[in-house]
Amino acid sequence: MDYISILQIFDSAVRLATPLLLACLAGLFSERAGIFDIGLEGKILVSAMFAAAVSTMTGTVWLGLLAGLLGSLVFSLIHGLASITFRGNQLISGVALNFLASGITVLISESWFGLGGRTPGLSGAERFLPIELPLAESLSGLPVLGPLYKELISGHTLLVYVALLMVPVSWFVLYRTRFGLRLRAVGENPAAVDTAGISVVRLRYASMVIAGLLCGLAGVYLSTGLGAGFGKEMSAGRGYIALAALIFAKWRPWYALGATMLFGLLEAIANRYQNIDLGGFIVPVQFMQALPYILTVIILAGFVGKAIPPRAGGQPYVKER
């Protein structure tokens, strides 16, 4: 395997890891505030559908971006209403939203376009196109660094760069701001936060808004950046994989980047090498395609060391009178 091929695999890994990274950061904010968000999958799906649908109807991806963010935000606030205001079971609420998103996206798409639950293909201004960074072509002749810049760093869509930027931004917000300190405290000991005169409900809703927006970006990228339209169940379990990556990352932003890139790399390898010959034994294509999901099972089985979630995670807060 030559150098260019390796760079192309990593380039593909970055593209495939982007929706996972955004969804993982969304789960990070919600779970740091004590809200388990199984509904990441549903929010990605509904965002992807509305983004593609509005983009194709208006001819501009920016209105599609707004529609996708709003769709995900509504689902996130519904989860917040069930989990925070009505103190319902967070896992059941998230699963219910996933089922709702699975059905409603196909229903709306079929009603609007009559294409079997799909949207028309996107092109031109209807989707996010790759951005060539300055001097990418002229520097491509340089040894090592030239191809690295051209093949791996340059040529991604805007949302890929936004997703990568969200990692240091999330770290700064969580660990270097008063809001982040309070948010993490709510996930560990909401009673102490309430005693200090800070609204637990307001902070948890704020985390749901952030999670909704980040998940919205994941869905928008999936249908208007990585793909060129919406298809039935196109999220393909990415919300669940993002949750596994979050556990793998031990609820830390920088670790989340590494965990999601690992998943993206496995998917990129599976896509590029459908059949691998190991001394006469051909690895089945089905095994290669299942690699990211196999890793998810391994992670959830507990082979990642000690991963301790926020202590108040999954528990509705009842204010003492």
> Which pLDDT tens digit goes with each residue over 38-92?
999 999 999 999 999 999 999 999 999 999 999 999 999 999 999 999 998 999 9
How many CA atoms, within 13 angstroms, populate the side-chain half-sphere of residue 201? 8
User: Stretch 13-29: mean pLDDT, rounded?
Assistant: 96
Tell whether the model's pLDDT for residue 122 goes beyond 60.
yes
Greater confidence (300 vs 59) lies with 59
Tokens of residue 237, six digits? 């379990």
Confidence of residue 157 (pLDDT cuts 50, 70, 90): very high
Predicted pLDDT of residue 280: 66
In a domain, 208, yes or no: yes
Domain boundaries, position 101 = 3-131+144-236
Confidence of residue 138 (pLDDT cuts 50, 70, 90): confident
In a domain, 39, yes or no: yes
Q: 34-38, 181-185, 246-250, 311-315: lowest mean pLDDT where?
A: 311-315
In a domain, 207, yes or no: yes
Tell whether the model's pLDDT for residue 142 goes beyond 90.
no
Query: Reduced to 3 states, what is the DSSP secondary structure of residue 304?
Result: coil
pTM of the model: 0.93
Predicted pLDDT of residue 160: 96
User: Stretch 225-238: mean pLDDT, rounded?
Assistant: 92
Greater confidence (255 vs 320) lies with 255
Predicted pLDDT of residue 315: 84
Predicted pLDDT of residue 277: 64
In which element (H, E) is residue 278 found? strand 276-278
Tell whether the model's pLDDT for residue 299 goes beyond 90.
no
In a domain, 311, yes or no: no
In a domain, 104, yes or no: yes
Confidence of residue 27 (pLDDT cuts 50, 70, 90): very high
* Tens-place pLDDT, residues 256-298: 999 899 889 888 888 887 766 666 667 777 777 777 777 777 7
Q: What is d(CA 80, CA 211) in angstroms, rounded to the nearest whole number?
A: 11
Q: What is d(CA 68, CA 317) in angstroms, rounded to the nearest whole number?
A: 30
How many CA atoms, within 13 angstroms, populate the side-chain half-sphere of residue 58? 15
> Percent of the chain at pLDDT above 90?
65
Confidence of residue 141 (pLDDT cuts 50, 70, 90): confident
Confidence of residue 302 (pLDDT cuts 50, 70, 90): low
- Looking up tokens 């599609």 gives 64
Mean pLDDT of the residues in the chain: 90
In a domain, 251, yes or no: no
Tell whether the model's pLDDT for residue 139 goes beyond 70.
yes
* Tens-place pLDDT, residues 303-320: 556 667 888 888 888 776
Alpha-helical (H) ranges within the chain are: 3-32, 40-58, 61-80, 90-113, 145-147, 158-176, 178-188, 190-195, 200-221, 238-248, 253-272, 285-289, 291-300
In a domain, 291, yes or no: no
In a domain, 11, yes or no: yes
Q: Considering its fold, how many domains does the chain have in total?
A: 1
Confidence of residue 226 (pLDDT cuts 50, 70, 90): very high
User: Stretch 241-247: mean pLDDT, rounded?
Assistant: 90
User: Stretch 222-250: mean pLDDT, rounded?
Assistant: 91
Predicted pLDDT of residue 287: 76
